[in-house]
Amino acid sequence: MKTIVVSLGGSILVPSIGSHNFSAYATVLKDLAVKYRVFTVAGGGGEARRYIQVARDLGMDEAAADDIGIMVTRLNAALLAGALGPAAYPRIAETYAQAREYGESNKIVVMGGAIAGQTTDAVAAVLAEYVGACALLNITSVDGIYAADPRKDPRAERYNHLTPSRLMEVIRKTQMGAGSNTVFDIVAAKVIERSDIPLFVMDGRDPRAIREAVLEGAFSGTVVCKGRPKKLPV
Ligand code: UTP
């Protein structure tokens, strides 16, 4: 069985206070697990940002605030594992070595953040290397990688395909503005560049779109890889 890593942004798992989609994403992950060995990474979303802000208000340093963010990602990971029930390995992997070990159970392995100074994009990219994944899926609330933030510039171009080195350039440019929030973490982009595992970035606000993309070849978004664009299913 081939292995895939699926990174689910916190903003799609918990779109707003009081609403959540854990069950819907768990159903899709179980469908993918029929064909692939699945490792999944949960993001922290708005909840992480709110707690991080509280940490800053309290005068905690940035690394300590990151640790708070990691705790929120692990909360979301635990809820996702709960929604997966017996299909998931019952513990949340806190390190890549644990994730690999838990994967030997052939159950879906769930992970949150790992270390300060990055986001779960980087966790997913490193995990993809560790477990020998043939593809990394970044499921977010934006339908791909753009030349500029599409929420600020509606005319910004969306890329269908980028090489890893071009991705680094795009991130560097979009990082210039103060407080800007890039669609993909620079640490993650560096890992993608060296590992050459194809990265598929797509809008997964409708969980069915993930199933259609991965299993039925209906992917729409940005593919990051060297050479010609790779296609799903891998
Ligand atoms: P996320 O990965 O959810 O960050 O981690 P994000 O940028 O808000 O999410 P997306 O990519 O837009 O969906 C939440 C926070 O947790 C800390 C960081 O502070 C991050 O902003 N974190 C997370 C780490 O420090 N290390 C990690 O490995 C993961």
pLDDT digits (tens), the chain, 234 positions: 999 999 999 999 999 988 999 999 999 999 999 999 999 999 999 999 999 999 999 999 999 999 999 999 999 999 999 999 999 999 999 999 999 999 999 999 999 999 999 999 999 999 999 999 999 999 999 999 999 888 888 999 999 999 999 999 999 887 655 444 677 899 999 999 999 899 999 999 999 999 999 999 999 999 999 999 999 998
Query: Looking at ligand 1, which residue's alpha carbon is closest to its atom 4?
Result: 119
Q: Output the pTM of the full model.
A: 0.96
Q: State the pLDDT at residue 181.
A: 62
pLDDT of residue 176: 59
Distance from Cα 123 to the centre of ligand 1, integer Å? 9
Q: What is the pLDDT of residue 134?
A: 97
Closest CA to ligand 1's atom 21: 119
Please spell the DSSP secondary structure of 122-149, one letter per residue: HHHHHHHHHTT-SEEEEEESSSSEESS-
Atom number, ligand 1, closest to the C-alpha of residue 122:
28
Residues 6+ apart with CB under 8 A from 74: 42, 92, 94, 112, 113
Quote the ligand 1 centre to 112 CA distance (angstroms). Answer: 9
| Ligand 1 atom, smallest distance to 140 CA | 13
Of the CA atoms within 13 Å of residue 6, those in its CB half-sphere come to: 29
Atom 7 in ligand 1: residue holding the nearest Cα: 119
Residues with CB under 6 A from ligand 1: 9-11, 43-45, 48, 52, 66, 69-70, 73, 113-121, 123, 140
Structure tokens at 109: 């392995």
Which domains are delineated in the chain? 3-224 (3.40.1160.10)
Q: What is the whole-number distance in angstroms between the Cα of residue 228 and the centre of ligand 1?
A: 30
Report which ligand 1 atom has the smallest distance to the Cα of 11. Answer: 13
Distance 69 CA to ligand 1 centre (A): 6
